[in-house]
Structure formats: C-alpha cells, structure tokens
Structure 1
C-alpha cells in the first residue's frame, strides 16, 4: 500500500508540474520573439489564419477562466494529500482519480507544448505543418476525453460511498474536475473544428464559404450526437457535466460578432446553430434537474469499503 501511495503522489505532482510548464509556455507564446522561444506572437498567428469562422478575440477570456478553473482543481487535489480517512489517506482510498487520470494529464500537457511550437511555425515557415498541427489539436481534445473517462470511472466505482460519507467531495470532483476538464476538452474540440477550416482554406481547392459550411455542419452533428449520448447512454457517468455547451455558445457568438470576418450567409448559419445550441443547453439543464430529483444516481444500497473495492480494480483504474 505504501508503494501505491508513493506512486500516486508522484503522478499527481508530475501532472501538476507538466500543467504548470505548459501554462508557462502558453504565456511565453503571447510575447513571441521577445522570449526567444517563439518566432511570433500567438495573436499574430491568429491574424494570419483568419477564416469565415474565426471568433473575435474577446472569446480568449475563456482561456483565463479555464486556467483558473484547472488551478482550482489542482489546489483541491493537493489539499487532499493531507486528509486522512479511517482506512487510509483520502487521495488513495478511495482513489476516485486513478493512475490513468494523471498519466493522461501528463500526455495532454506534452501535446499542448508540441502544439504551441508547431502552431508558431505554421505561418512563419510554410503551411506544410498545418496538418500535423491539426492532428495534435485533435489529439488534445481526445486526451481530454480520456481524462474525463478516468474521472467518470472513478465516480461510478466510489460515487455511492462518497455520496454517503463525503458528499462535499463528490460535488467538488464533479464541479472542479469533471466540468473543468470538460471545459478544457470542449475548447480543444472547437479549436479542432476551427483549425480544420484553416487547413481546408489553405491546402484544398474547396471554396472558403463551402469549407465553413462543412465545418459548421460537422459541429452541429457532433453537438446533437453528444446530446443523445450523454442523456440516454452515458447518463450515470456524465450527468452533471454541463460546461460543454457554454463553450460552443460563446465561440459561435464571437464568430458571428467578429468584425474581421466578411459578413456572409455563414454568419446566418452560425447564428442558427448558436440558437439551436442554446436551446439544447436549456433542455439539458432541465433534464439534469429533473433526473436529479426523480432519478437519483445513488440509493440506499449496502456499500463496500473503499479498500475492498480497490482490490477488484485493474492497475490503471487504481
């Protein structure tokens, strides 16, 4: 057990350090050549990759909200290192966030730094690196989904026990961890769609208007598909994750409001999808509130101790 505790602490600290390093590089990217690490500023690159869907710059405040949220998450996780339960330390029994959670986070931070350097060179050297950058952007979104998966698996296993004995921690994990990472994942998923538009504009003969329409259709289909999956297939896993739609709503609103993009029927289509997404979000909130009251996830079933449960888990989920 002592070895498990040491490994978990090490992975948690490595995840935090990797996140702080990637955050530092993101800040350095804002200053570009002045830092010696980047060839140009992030805003300059954004100005050179404008498409019909490029959002206005005010939406970048989401990045600040996201980082504050994730820092809050890590503060909570580090705080748990000093909390002890009757069985053992709270962060290891129950291990709501398993080894896979921290390993996935480290991979995600590495991908984030790789994306920064590739994106920096996309428009300074040539356009040939745009596809690899698009792939890394998509991998960032996927790795975030893997992080959410590990957190959801942990709550499925230990959620009933937390609900009975540590309900505050249950809600903190839902709010700080699951919704924080979902916000992060959605940001990168939307970034993937926007970068796909850039690739289609610069590396294919597809007209820019058609490329924008294609990406908007894919985005709308993805949102509808996720709405169906989260409400009817993964409800017990993701019921209280609500930060997906606000990100899409704000990015679409910033896209419509961007004065740098030409006013075409793309704006009308974006506004329609914005309205549909807003309605879906309202319906989602109503459904979650109704299910919370009428279909609670946890009943009065007999609970096993976290120690007994941990013995049945595979290593990556421990």
Structure 2
C-alpha cells in the first residue's frame, strides 16, 4: 500500500501502458482505413465492410468521422493523465492524491481498448457474429469504466472543489465527456452490428430489425435521460456529450435512409431524431440551471488544510 506523499509505481505503469495501448488502437484504426499501407494485415476498409452489410438504419458515411473527434478528445485526456504523473500538490503526487484515475478504471479501460483492436480484425474477416459480441464487450466495458471514473471524481469532489478545482474541471471535460462520447458511439455501433446479425444470420425481416435497433436506442436514451437527471445527477451532472452522438447518428441515418425508407421506418427516424434533439437541449438547460441554483459540494464541510481534509 502506498503511503500519502509517495509515488505509486504500479499506477504509473498502468497509466503508461494504457496510453501505449491507446496509441496502438488509434494507429491500427488508421491503418484499417488505408489497408494498402498496413502490410497486408487488413483485407478491406471498415467503411467497405459496412457498405457490404448495410441495413435500413446504416448511417451515411460522414457519420463515421466521429471516430476522429473521439480519438482526438481521448488523446487530450491521455496527455492530461501523463501530465499528472509529473505534478505534486500539498498532499503528494497529483495522480495519487486524489486518485481519480484508479487502477481498476485503468485496467478496465485498457481491456476495452484491446477489444477495440480485436474488433478491427474480426470485422475485417467478415465474422459478423463474433464482431457483434466484441462490440458489446467494448460497449459494456465502456459503461463500466465511465461509471468508475464518475464515481471516483464524486468521491473526491469535496476536497477537489476546495483545493483542485481546475483539475476537477479537466477531469469533467476531458475524461468524463470524452469517454461518454466514446461510450455512446460504441453503444450505437453495437446496436447497428446487432441489426446486421439479426438480418443476415437470423434472417429477421428488415422492418423488425429497424424496430429492434431504433427501439433499443430509444429506450437506452430515454432511460439515461431519466437517470442522469434524477438518481445520477450528483455523479454525471456535467456530462453532456451522449446526446450529441445520438443526434449525429440519427442525422446520418436520416440523410442515408429516409428517402427510400418505408413509412414506418421514416416516422421512427424523424421522431427519434426529434427526441434526441429535445433531450440534448433540455439536458444543457438543466445543467445550467442546476449549476446556478444547486451547485455540487456547496454543503460539504471540509477543512482548509489538504493534508488533514483529504480522505484517501
């Protein structure tokens, strides 16, 4: 066990390993876009494979450029984590006190990135059932990691609100919202991949596939909207990126599919797009109102001495 004020070699190793795995994930994702430069490890591009397995809710190609935004956002988060390794506060190394990037979070997130790499090869080899399973693994580990890092910041929030407010906001902006962006998109991707399996392997009618994919996305979004504005508010108040992802996905689906969609599919697309926009605007409004009227940690009694007030 590391004592207060001391470095934690295991945590440092995990941060560095996590960054290297992230860098490898981004590099392989880029090579999958340009397989001619990949030395034969990829047979096709992710986009070409998606076009091969298109269903009635596959979004337009430009939608997948969100991966660039995700990886840039997460890169900034990783760089911030590396900077924390070089900083100290009145208690000790910043990455240890407070320990927002916990070992369990870093391990879970590293396995998630390894799953991301595995998916590239499984999808490239046209193993759509296995690729669906891997995508659900990626989505699940994303949700777990997202919960871990939100809880960690909440746990240390009273102390950070007094003694490390800039770091608290850096975690919220870079890690919370960046990871939420990644989590939401991989959840959408998992639903789309599930739709491909239901259509091509299970032989389900396309209209039923549309209902399953868009219905599941609707249910997840509405449930999240309810939870984040009630029971989870103190944990996720300043996480706002998920709805932007859903809006982008639905715009992509609308542009790609609406003109030739059945009446039922067209209605579903338009209504879900409208609900996503409403949730996004409502969420932003609620965040602003609550930040002004009921700020977090305002009632916490905590001493001014970080050594005495910090709860490990």
TM over 0.5: yes
> How many matched pairs?
304
Q: Which of 174, 177, 182 is the equivalent residue of 1:176?
A: 174
Structure 1 residues 145-164: aligned runs within 5 Å: 145-164=143-162
Q: Which of 113, 135, 138 is the equivalent residue of 2:136?
A: 138
Per-residue displacement from partner, 1:241-299 (whole Å, max 9, x unpaired)? 10101001001100110169833221331111000111111111111111111111112
How far off is 1:4 after superposition?
5.8
Cα 1:40/1:201, change in 2 over 3 Å: same
TM-score normalised by length of structure 2: 0.93
**Does structure 2 conserve the Cα–Cα contact (< 8 Å) formed by 1:29 and 1:42?**
yes
Structure 1 residues 206-221: aligned runs within 5 Å: 206-221=204-219
**Does structure 1 conserve the Cα–Cα contact (< 8 Å) formed by 2:85 and 2:93?**
yes
What is the rounded CA distance, in whole Å, between the counterparts of 1:306 and 1:104 in structure 2? Answer: 30
How far off is 1:300 after superposition?
4.6
How far off is 1:214 after superposition?
2.2
**Does structure 2 conserve the Cα–Cα contact (< 8 Å) formed by 1:11 and 1:99?**
yes
CA RMSD of aligned residues (A): 1.8
What is the rounded CA distance, in whole Å, between the counterparts of 2:220 and 2:257 in structure 1? Answer: 27
What is the rounded CA distance, in whole Å, between the counterparts of 1:247 and 1:114 in structure 2? Answer: 23
**Does structure 1 conserve the Cα–Cα contact (< 8 Å) formed by 2:57 and 2:257?**
no
Cα 1:244/1:78, change in 2 over 3 Å: same
Query: Counterpart in 1 of 2:311?
Result: 309
Query: Counterpart in 1 of 2:199?
Result: 201
Answering whether residue 90 of structure 2 is matched by residue 91 of structure 1, we say no
Structure 1 residues 242-261: aligned runs within 5 Å: 242-258=240-256
What is the rounded CA distance, in whole Å, between the counterparts of 1:240 and 1:149 in structure 2? Answer: 14
Query: Counterpart in 1 of 2:59?
Result: 55
Instruction: Indicate the SS of the match to 2:125.
Output: helix
Cα 1:306/1:258, change in 2 over 3 Å: farther
Cα 1:132/1:292, change in 2 over 3 Å: same
Q: Which of 17, 30, 35 is the equivalent residue of 2:33?
A: 30
How far off is 1:84 after superposition?
1.1
The farther-off stretch of 220-229 and 30-39 is 30-39
Query: Counterpart in 1 of 2:274?
Result: 275
Query: Counterpart in 1 of 2:85?
Result: 81
**Does structure 2 conserve the Cα–Cα contact (< 8 Å) formed by 1:33 and 1:41?**
no
Q: Which of 217, 220, 223 is the equivalent residue of 2:221?
A: 223
Instruction: Indicate the SS of the match to 1:82.
Output: coil
Which residues of structure 2 form unaligned runs of 5+? Answer: none
